Structure 1
Amino acid sequence: MTPVTTFAGKTVALFGLGGSGLATALALKEGGARVVACDDNPAKMAEARDKGIETGDLRKVDWSQVSVLILSPGVPLTHPEPHWSAKLARAAGVEIVGDIELFCRERAKIAPDAPFVAITGTNGKSTTTALVAHILREAGRDVQMGGNIGTAILSLAPPAHDRIHVVECSSFQIDLAPSLAPTVGVHLNISPDHLDRHGTMENYAAIKERLVTKAEIAVVGTDDDFSRAIAEACARKGVDVMPVSVGSVGPKGVFADGTRLVRGTPAGPLPVADLAGIRSLRGAHNAQNAAAAVAVALALGTPDNRIEAGLRTFPGLPHRMEEIGRIGPVLFINDSKATNADSTEKALKSFDDILWILGGKPKEGGIASLRPYFPKVRKAYLIGAASDAFAETLGDSVPFERAVTLDRAVEHAARDAAALGAPAVVLLSPACASYDQYPNYEVRGDHFRELVKALPGINPTMGA
């Protein structure tokens, strides 16, 4: 735990007692604050009380005595409209921040030189976060990994000059962290996502930009227009920018040239590593992730040979193009983390002869942008609330069936793949959120894994 001492002796209001909210309440209490915590779920309130956290209705507190409101990143700050707790705080002139901000203030107080890597992007941030942490650990560094990737940042050990924090940041978390100023800030890419919470692409991009414009070193993907603009904004503010790209090679930064990763120098590109044969990093999208991770490792003084060793031993992430098993020539892939079309595109690019399981709670734009990859799909199996809309988009381009549930989709896809008698891939890559049938993408992916492992003749592979 990182005790939060910056609000010692003060009253702090907190709304949202999920995993990070509860960890934040405990860290504040440990640091000497009086915390009044609230959640719409009575069970969460009861759990907090069991752990010694004071709970109460924030509608009834004396806001003149409250120093700050800590808001869960899952709670709307601005769009589609501010949560009622945020409205009350603003009306009282009370600051609203999140757990990443509390970590930043504690770091500034106790160890301002502590290495801090913050990573964002519409897609790829979890893989990049895990890969950075893995490379640095394999190089013998003391690494703490958390944030949006799953472990609450305040559950990690405190900042120290010889300890590196590698933290994934969502746009919601960045919006609640005004003093975010990492040693190395990483921005990977931008595509439409979470516009219900940010209003416009311009506002979404502006929030992402905040993570890198105060960094000492900004590692920025330059393969989309919004991200190139972010790199230019960093340069104008005097930030040391290390571009990363798939395809183009420049005089500075790290680039993917096919499967080769090269470092740009004024004298020309120098090889750093080769991704060929690393199944956990297949595909152009993972080449960008790996290039960004290499740039971070280089910025933190990691030798090239340690970087390459870390890349080769990276196990990959659960639910992100995770190999579950094989039945003869048929490979089963769990890509449940693909919750939008842009993320699913990466999987469709990486495989051929696909039996595609997709659907759930749809995102804006649906799957129309994936039409160029429809010829790679042998058949689609539609599940969840998006079934009708996706069926209309697929039309006559791809044979499909409305499987409705994941159980039925796996059963039918396995049957159809076996009937092909040739190499094929059964791919769960939903291009949707999970909330219509599952509480989150992890539970959806775990269910897929269980269903596949129960198939007759399955031979588990690296993801099992």
Structure 2
Amino acid sequence: MIPASSFSGRRVALFGLGGSGMATARSLIEGGAQVVCWDDNPESVAKAEDEGLPVGDLRGEDWSRFCSFVLSPGVPLTHPKPHWTVELARAAGVEIIGDVELFVRERNLRAPDAPFFAITGTNGKSTTTALTAHILRSAGRDAQMGGNIGRAVMTLDPPAPSRFYVIECSSYQIDLAPSINPTAGVLLNLTPDHLDRHGTMQRYAAIKEQLVGGSQTAIVGVDDPFCAQIADRLELAGRKVVRISKRLSLTDGYYAEGTDLMEAKDGHYSRIAFLEGIGSLRGQHNAQNALAAVVACLAVGLDLGEIQSGLESFPGLAHRMEQVGRKDNVLFVNDSKATNADASAPALSSFPRIYWIAGGLPKEGGIEPLRGLFPRIARAYLIGEAAPAFSATLGGSVPYEISGTLTAAVEHAAQDAAKDESGEVVVLLSPACASFDQFKNFEVRGDAFRKAVHSIEGITLLGGE
């Protein structure tokens, strides 16, 4: 745990008593702050009280006595309407911050030179965060990973000069971290997302820009217009900007050329790393993730040999194009995290011949946006509530069956794929749907797929959880 010692002796209000909120409250208390905790959920308040945290209804508190208000990232700050605690804090002139801001202040106080990577983007930030931490650890560095992935940021080990921090930051967290100042800030991409929370795409982009704007080195993916404009603005403002692209041959920066990761500098081009044969980093989207991780690690002094070794040993993330097993020429891949069509597109575009398991609780638009990828699908196995609608979309374009259950889909797909003589084929769970009709969440769905694959006679397991 990182004690929030910069708040020692100060009175702090905290709202939101989920996992990260409880961890933040403990950090503040450990650092000597006087904390008053609250939540709209009575069960959360009771649990916090049972665990010895000081609780109190913030409606009845004297806000003029608080120096700071720590807000859970999931609580509305601006849209669609500020939470009632936000209105009370603003009326009293109390700063509103989150747990990432606490980390930033503690690092500034204890070890301001401790390497700090902050990673954001609409898509790919979890993989990039995990990959960056993996490369550092495989190279023998003490790498602490957390934030929007894995551990709450204040549960990491305290800042020290030789300790590396790799923190995934959502737009919600950045909005509550006005002092964020990473050694290397990564902005991967921007597409419309969370507009119910931020109001407009421009507001959403401006929040993401704060992360790279405060960094020593801003690593920006320039494949979308919003990020390209951000890179230009930062450069004009005198910031150090490194551009990366998964599809553009840049004249200055780093880009992907197939599975080769290239550097362009002063008119010279050289391969600095490669992804060929690394199953956990298949696809153009992972080329962007890998570029960001490579450039971030170069920024803190790792050599190319250390970086390539880390790329090659990266196991990938559970439920995100996770390689579960192989039997002869059939690869089994768990992409349960793909809960809509856009999320399924990277996996479908990464394999040439697919036995596709799809369906669940359908999202608006269904799978029509994936029509251009239908030629890659040898056969589809449809499950859950979406099966009738998906079958209508597939029509005569793709052979399909309505399997009903995930277990049946895996069994039938495995049997059909085993008969395919096209070289490597893949049985791919990439549902393009939410899981809630048959499973508690996408993790449980992915676990069920993994269990079904593990039960196949003669399967060679490829890792995963």
The TM-score with structure 1 as length reference comes to 0.91
- What does residue 353 of structure 2 align with? 353
Query: CA 1:38–1:437 in structure 2 vs 1: closer, same or farther (change >3 Å)?
Result: farther
1:82 aligns to what SS in structure 2? Answer: coil
Distance of 1:388 and 1:28 partners within structure 2? 52
Residues 37 and 214 of structure 1: CA distance in aligned 2, closer, same or farther (over 3 Å): same
Distance in structure 1 (CA, Å) of the matches to 2:363 and 2:166: 29
Note closer, same or farther for the CA distance 1:393–1:163 as it changes in structure 2 (3 Å cut): same
Contact 1:325 1:463 in 2 (8 A): no
Residue 403 and residue 156 in structure 1: after superposition, are their counterparts in 2 closer, same or farther (change >3 A)?
Answer: same
Matches within 5 A, 1:328-367: 328-360=328-360, 366-367=366-367
1:196 equivalent in alignment to 2:176: no
Shift of 1:296: 0.7
403-412 or 293-302: bigger deviation: 403-412
Q: Distance in 2 between matches of 1:152 and 1:431?
A: 28
- In structure 2, the CA distance between the partners of 1:8 and 1:139, relative to structure 1 (3 Å rule), is same
1:239 is matched with 239
Q: Give ranges in structure 2 of 5+ residues lacking alignment.
A: none
Instruction: Measure the CA separation in 1 of the matches of 2:91 and 2:362.
Output: 35
Paired amino acid for 2:99:
D
- Judged with a 3 Å threshold, the aligned counterparts in structure 2 of structure 1 residues 155 and 396 are, in CA distance, closer, same or farther, namely same
Alignment partners' CA distance in 2, 1:382 and 1:7: 54
What's the counterpart of residue 460 of structure 1? Answer: 461
Aligned to 2:49: 49
Instruction: Output the aligned Cα RMSD.
Output: 2.5
TM-superposed deviation, 1:192: 2.8
Shift in Å at residue 212 of structure 1? 0.5
Q: For residue 96 of structure 1, report the CA deviation from its aligned partner.
A: 2.0
Give the aligned residue type for 2:181: A
Within 5 A, what are the aligned runs for 1:165-314? 165-314=165-314
- Larger deviation: 313-322 or 454-463? 454-463
Q: Which residue of 2 aligns with 1:116?
A: 116
The Cα offsets for residues 46-69 of structure 1, whole Å up to 9 and x where unpaired, read as 442343212233333333333333
C-alpha distance in 1 between matches for 2:8 and 2:434: 39
Q: Is the 8 A contact 1:254 1:294 kept in 2?
A: no
Change beyond 3 A, Cα 1:252–1:373: same
Per the TM alignment, residue 129 of structure 1 is displaced from its structure 2 partner at its CA by 0.9
SS across alignment from 1:14? strand
Contact persistence 1:193–1:340 (CA under 8 A): no
Mean CA deviation greater in 33-42 or 114-123: 33-42
Q: How many residues align?
A: 464
For residues 13 and 363 of structure 2, what CA distance do their matches in structure 1 show? 32
Q: Determine if the alignment matches structure 1 residue 84 to structure 2 residue 90.
A: no
1:392/1:204 Cα in 2 relative to 1: closer, same or farther (>3 Å)? farther
- CA drift of 1:163 comes to 1.4
- Deviation of residue 164 (structure 1)? 1.3
Query: 1:195 and 1:361 mapped to 2: Cα distance?
Result: 22
Q: Which piece of structure 1 moves more, 412-421 or 254-263?
A: 412-421
How far is 1:9 from its partner?
A: 2.1
Amino acid in the other structure paired with 1:372: G
Structure 1 residues 334 and 216 mapped into 2: Cα distance closer, same or farther (>3 Å)? same
Segment of structure 1 superposing worse, 396-405 or 284-293? 396-405
**1:188 to partner: Cα distance:** 0.8
C-alpha distance 403-192 of structure 1, shift in aligned 2 (>3 A): farther
CA, structure 1 residues 364+56, in 2 after alignment: closer, same or farther (shift >3 Å)?
Answer: farther
Q: Secondary structure at the match of 1:243?
A: strand
Deviating more after overlay: 215-224 vs 90-99? 90-99
User: Residues 310 and 229 of structure 1: is their aligned pair in 2 closer, same or farther, counting only changes over 3 Å?
Assistant: same
Indicate conservation of the 8 Å contact 1:354/1:378, yes or no: yes
The letter for the 2-side match of 1:176 is: L
| Residue identity in the other structure for 1:462 | G
Q: How does 1:3-14 map to 2 (within 5 A)?
A: 3-14=3-14
Q: Does residue 445 of the first structure (1) align with residue 446 of the second (2)?
A: yes
Native 8 Å contact 1:213 1:237 kept in 2: no
The worse-fitting range, judged by mean Cα deviation, of 242-251 and 404-413 is 404-413
Return the alpha-carbon distance in structure 2 between the equivalents of residues 10 and 216 of structure 1. Answer: 30
State the SS of the aligned residue for 1:293. helix
User: 2 CA distance for matches of 1:78 and 1:385?
Assistant: 35
Distance 2:449 2:327 in 1: 15
Cα distance in 2 for residues equivalent to 1:408 and 1:94: 56
Partner of 2:31: 31
CA distance in 1: counterparts of 2:224 and 2:376, whole angstroms: 25
Shift of 1:413: 3.5
2:15 counterpart letter in structure 1: F
User: Residues 143 and 43 of structure 1: is their aligned pair in 2 closer, same or farther, counting only changes over 3 Å?
Assistant: same
Residue identity matched to 2:149: I
Partner of 2:319: 319
Q: Which residue does the alignment assign to 2:127?
A: 127
Q: Is the contact between residue 191 and residue 342 of structure 1 (CA under 8 Å) also seen in structure 2?
A: no
- Aligned residues of 1:5 and 1:28 also touching (Cα < 8 A): yes
Offset of residue 86 of structure 1: 2.8
2:428 aligned partner: 427
Is the alpha carbon distance of 1:327 and 1:186 closer, same or farther for their aligned partners in structure 2, counting shifts above 3 Å?
A: same
Query: Equivalent residues in 2 for 1:7-22 (5 A)?
Result: 7-22=7-22
